[in-house]
Amino acid sequence: MTFKQCSYVLLLLVSQLSFALDINKGSVDDRQYEYFELKNGLKALIISDPTTDKAAASLDVAVGSADNPKGREGLAHFLEHMLFLGTKKYPEADTYQQYISEHGGNHNAYTSLEHTNYFFDVSHPHLEPTLDQFAQFFIAPLFNEAYVDRERKAVHSEYQAKIKDDFRRGYDVYRELLNPEHPYAQFSVGSLKTLADRPNDPVREDLIEFYKKHYTADNMTLVVLGREPLPKLKAMVESRFNQVPASKGAVNSPRPALFKSLPKTVYIKPVKDSYQLTLVFPLPSVKEYVYEKPLSYLGHILGYEGAGSVLSVLKSKGWAEGLSAGGDNQSPDHSTFTISITLTPEGYKNIAQIEALVFHAIDELAKNGIESWRFEEAKQLLALDFQFKEKADPMNTVSQLSNNMHYYASKDIIRGDYAMEKYDSQLIQRFVMQLNQQNVLIMIAAPDVETDKTSLYYQVPYRVSDKKPAIALESDLKAAYRLPKANPYVATNLTVLTAGQESEPKLMLQLSGQDFWYLQNDQFKVPRAFLASRIKSPLISSDLRSAAIASLWEAMIDDSLNETLYDASLAGLSVTLDATSRSIDLTVSGYSDKMPLLLSEVLKQIQSHDFDKARFVTLKEELIRSWNNTRKQTPFRRLFRHLPTVVYSPYWGAEDMAQALENVSFEELVGFSKAWTKGAHQEGLLYGNISSDAAKQMFRDMSSLVISEEGLQIQQASVAKVSGQYYEPVSVSHTDQAVVLYIQAKKDELRDMAKMMLIKQIIEAPFYSSLRTEQQLGYIVFAAQFDLKEVPAIALVVQSPAADVKQLQTAVETFIRKFQLPSSIDTFREAVISSLNEKPKSLLEQGQDYWSSILRDDNNFGYRQALIEQLRAITDKELIDYYQSTIQSSSSQLWLYSQTEKGEGLISPKPLKADGYYRYP
């Protein structure tokens, strides 16, 4: 190479590096980035991460359901489905899915109103061949006629699966209230009717026309993440995606107003026993204000849940359980701001006062709440999150960034969501003034509303009326409301401590019945920490009633801490309290600076035993209602939730918990609060940016929760040994039918775990392809690992809008009987091992990984490596024999199936009779 050539290469590398560094990224982000445009106009971002275990890619097309041609509702969504089913270069319908499954990856796509986003991840050595298949979706898809009819049935099945989902049903009514000329007013999912072939108008031709019109390079953004250096990634992209058609995409014409007339109030009857108030305000587009973020400011104030907030005031009255507020800025022609409140039945009776309080809060914001210090606080919190933004799941990363590329300048593709820079009080004021009583759609959902209409697609009963004149807000509510104060949990000490000597957690403190593990580590270079505790309780594990009271106690503690925890969550600190069937689990994670302060507040509340009796009544009713609503879940979710109640103990179903809680008194709750830690055992972990002295003090504070008492026993966990074939019906309230087949391993040993993991890896893609793509039984078809404690198991799941449970059972049994494992399992073995070797990407993930090991009594943190050794030792013949004797033999099968009037008598129940139990401390 000549000196001139060397100079040119050096200049090229420097140019690429400077361009890569021009992408704004956080201080701990060690990835390299480069943004460029292909000659056909496609915009691309490549990310080089030499440490990533998974490579990933996402392509986002700026076209969605809002672009559907009139009369072809759901066409954009249908197109998303069809792209997966073969291309000119890779004509087989399952080639892409099978390749990704064999190489430890995942794939998916979504269609929103304005975007269609495709994404995958795969074990890092296999990025290029996967990317080659992926690129062909956008170059030469086949739209194979043989799959058109099958896939529109899948779209219809997806629509039917959510037919009783209250969110979808509420949106169906909302859609009917929009200006019928606005594209958002059309049905977005698609059905057999909207996608039907018509005389001289086959849907395939419409599909191809839509694809050619919108799937053009100038309408696309691509993100690719891999281990390879930037030049190699760039070459991968250019050689493939330069082939995407370069013709100009469709230019959207101006859209009409979102609503024809406001204000309006609509009353909706939900499927579940629930109460909801939603206020929707149409606003101008905010696409010009990505650095001012006026809607984020409004959400910061009106969505506040701390002391004096709308939610705080409503909770004190027993009128509400939750509140959210925020803006939608995806549309190019408008935005919306939505305030949604989950009501109690008593709140529903006082809905006029709740509306008045919301508008009073808006008035206070307009008069006194637009202040620079509030903007600066919100700005500081976002800036902190960006500065210490850790790596996330590669597939989620590329999917989000490919969407961001349509909204932000190239340098701010990563930073854009966190960039809140320009305080403009007049701009905020302009948007606040449009949150008024003449510019609002009020949606009220309650079981007993009077209705006179039914929505077309989801058959939702509703009624529309002109909004009534506002009533005066009661003086006590007005006096109770106040704007947020400064947040006391914002981190100020962001020093990252130097790493200690240890590379894994060690026991720091052992007390009677209590073990605390600690590791101070600077691996991720962030001022964060992770704290976890599990307190196993003799009282909680003793019976159903105690377990139900434990869940109510958790709800009471969460409620009493809500104002504190909300401020903490805004400042990057998260607290989770979870009542299980044997324990109370506590986790605290986030910035380490104020973590000891927050833990102190949490422990103080746990030990106070001071509860509000009115809140007890409200939360008890809410919990019972929530548990009883599980019977109205989507069938496969209902079956999944029921499965542990059959096999695992102690564990109870939601409806049994609801019944047990019915006659629990306030005094009984207080007694439980004082007694549940007697004779308990606690394990804890503190990992991250906390000094050893601070950790010891936090552990000693936590240890004070447990009360030593001899003679009390924590009930062992047990998993029933399934020997034979059993059938368990589960009542559902849905038109779809579903089955779940639970297949248990022969033993609770590590080698059996390895074998079941391998079998699941091998069968998941063929199972999906056979029952969903080929047989079109339903949209929901998958295989899942369903381990309980150390007992390995696989669950095969199918939900269908057309087939009955007997047909579904036959289809699953036929697949199992006919499917043969490959003669060589090496590819699948490497996929599973690659997944097990995947390194945590953030401090939180690493902390959760250590905590899982501690809970498993894997005190040497060698479980994964031991499992990998077992995987490497399994021979092809050994796995084939195991598949035949365990999966195909029906020797350890438990069938759960949906039971409705339609399905009665198709399968005869045969309750499980356990052949002994696996037991765990």
Residue 8, pLDDT score: 31
Confidence of residue 249 (pLDDT cuts 50, 70, 90): low
Cβ atoms of 691 and 500 closer than 8 Å:
no
pTM for this predicted structure: 0.92
Structure token digits, residue 687:
């990992």
Q: Is the pLDDT of residue 20 over 80?
A: no
Residue 247, pLDDT score: 80
Cα pseudo-dihedral 689, 692, 696, 698, rounded to 10: -20
Maximum distance among all Cα pairs of the chain, rounded to whole angstroms: 88
Q: Is the pLDDT of residue 413 over 60?
A: yes
Q: Is the pLDDT of residue 1 over 80?
A: no
Structure token digits, residue 124:
């890092």
Specify which residues 572 forms β-bridges with.
Answer: none
Cβ atoms of 716 and 920 closer than 8 Å:
yes
Cβ atoms of 38 and 241 closer than 8 Å:
yes
pLDDT digits (tens, 9 = 90+) for 427-444: 999 999 999 999 999 999
Radius of gyration of the chain (CA): 29
Residue 902, pLDDT score: 53
Eight-class DSSP state of 749: S
Residue 248, pLDDT score: 75
- State the CB neighbour count (10 A cutoff) for residue 691: 12
Closest by CA position to 513, among listed 705, 651, 674: 705
Q: How many Å apart are CA 446 and CA 448, to the nearest integer?
A: 6
Q: How many Å apart are CA 806 and CA 739, to the nearest integer?
A: 9
Specify which residues 681 forms β-bridges with.
Answer: 536
Specify which residues 5 forms β-bridges with.
Answer: none
Cβ atoms of 530 and 521 closer than 8 Å:
no
Q: How many Å apart are CA 720 and CA 646, to the nearest integer?
A: 8
3-class DSSP assignment, residue 516: strand
Q: Is the pLDDT of residue 225 over 80?
A: yes
Q: Is the previous residue joined to 263 through a cis bond, with omega within 30 degrees of 0? A: yes
Average pLDDT over residues 528-551: 97
> Order of strands, edge to edge, in the sheet holding 917-920?
648-649, 717-720, 917-920
Q: How many Å apart are CA 861 and CA 524, to the nearest integer?
A: 19
Of 57-61, 146-150, 453-457, 646-650, the range with the lowest mean pLDDT is: 146-150
Core vs surface per residue 512-523: b (16+ CB within 10 A) or e: ebbbbbbbbbee
3-class DSSP assignment, residue 32: strand
Q: Is the pLDDT of residue 906 over 80?
A: no
Residue 890, pLDDT score: 85
Q: How many Å apart are CA 592 and CA 577, to the nearest integer?
A: 19
What DSSP assignment string belongs to 181-221? TSGGGS--S--TTTT--BTTB-HHHHHHHHHHHH--GGGEE
pLDDT digits (tens, 9 = 90+) for 688-744: 999 999 999 999 999 999 999 888 999 999 999 999 999 999 999 888 999 999 999
Eight-class DSSP state of 886: I
Summary mean pLDDT of the chain = 93
Cα dihedral sign for 600, 606, 608, 612? Answer: positive
Residue 643, pLDDT score: 96
Residues in CB range of 861: below 8 A, 6 or more apart: 504, 505, 850, 853
Residues in CB range of 234: below 8 A, 6 or more apart: 16, 34, 36, 46
Residue 471, pLDDT score: 86
What DSSP assignment string belongs to 282-323? EE---TT-TTT-HHHHHHHHHT--STTSHHHHHHHHT-EEEE
Average pLDDT over residues 251-272: 92
Cα pseudo-dihedral 149, 155, 160, 162, rounded to 10: 170
Average pLDDT over residues 201-223: 96
Average pLDDT over residues 750-762: 97
Structure token digits, residue 331:
């549309």
Q: Is the pLDDT of residue 469 over 60?
A: yes
Residue 617, pLDDT score: 95
Cβ atoms of 319 and 354 closer than 8 Å:
yes
Q: How many Å apart are CA 652 and CA 25, to the nearest integer?
A: 47
Residue 468, pLDDT score: 76
User: Is residue 187 packed enough to be buried (19+ CB in 10 Å), middle (13-18) or exposed (0-12)?
Assistant: buried
Structure token digits, residue 184:
């958002």
Q: What type of residue is 39?
A: K
Cβ atoms of 726 and 853 closer than 8 Å:
no
Residue 18, pLDDT score: 34
Q: How many Å apart are CA 558 and CA 577, to the nearest integer?
A: 7
